[in-house]
Amino acid sequence: MRLINLFNFKLAKISNHIYTFTNKSYKQINKNLHNLYIICKSAFLNMSSIISKPIISINSNLIKITLFYYWKPLRKRYLKSNLHSKFLILHYNKLENLVKLLSKLFNKSVELELIRIYSPQNESNILANLIGILSNFIKFRKIHMKLFKVSKTKIFKRFNNNKIPSFLSGIYLKLAGRVLTQKIQRRVKSKIIQKGSLTRVNTDLINTNTFVNKNKRGVFSITIKTGHIINN
């Protein structure tokens, strides 16, 4: 009896199950969803922005696609502009063509909902892709030092501001393989760096995403885990 500890409900694992009822096979649905992300990712990279994984809502007549995107304009005149939707105004025609292409892919009307985020560390897929792109010409050490400097993590679940929906509890970075900015040296399996906490006791939600690419030194991957504390 001494070996039995009190039950800690905070350590209980929560799992979400998604059920799909359709006449199409699961492989075909999964293929279409993968193609959807590839098409959107390529289109937004052409508009100098990075997107999250799409959130899709499907009914009989309409497909609603929600995307978080990170866009940092390079031209000063766009930074100083007072327009609230500069991205939509600048790339309206490209976005319209993207919606038409997706409508043909799914044979349904498509509605695209775009939500801009200003801090890439708040979305793990955007952060993984951003670091993957920057690592081609900026050293990984400088990237993670800058990231950890601007990222404010919070462990204790005490909120002074009720307007903010969530806070970062921790960030985990893992680099596997060799990037172009590294010196040629003995191969290291991976580099792991972490700031804050990602334990289930201190975190309400953990997002994990991996960026995989290939260069002249071989294949490399960047894995990102971000922990969030929900402000209920």
Q: What is the pLDDT of residues 52-103, one digit of tens each?
A: 989 888 887 888 999 999 987 655 555 555 555 688 888 889 999 999 999 9
Examine the pLDDT at 28 and tell me if it is beyond 90. Answer: no
CA dihedral for 15, 21, 26, 32, sign (positive or negative):
negative
Length in residues, the chain: 232
Per the CB < 8 A criterion, the answer to whether 10 and 201 are in contact is: yes
Q: Is 138-230 a CATH 3.30.450 domain?
A: no
Could you tell me which residue, 30 or 213, shows the higher pLDDT? Answer: 213
**Looking up tokens 């972490």, which residue turns up?**
194
**Looking up tokens 């009989």, which residue turns up?**
60
Examine the pLDDT at 151 and tell me if it is beyond 70. Answer: yes
Indicate the pLDDT class of residue 227, thresholds 50, 70 and 90: confident
Residues of the chain with CATH 3.30.300: 26-116
Query: For the segment 168-183, what is each residue's pLDDT rounded down to a tens digit?
Result: 888 999 888 877 776 6
Indicate the pLDDT class of residue 137, thresholds 50, 70 and 90: confident
Q: 26-116 adopts what CATH topology?
A: GMP Synthetase; Chain A, domain 3 (3.30.300)
User: What is the mean predicted confidence (pLDDT) over 104-123?
Assistant: 88
Residues of the chain with CATH 3.30.1140: 138-230
The whole-model pTM stands at 0.74
pLDDT confidence of residue 78: 53
pLDDT confidence of residue 76: 54
CA distance between the termini of the chain = 37
pLDDT confidence of residue 4: 56
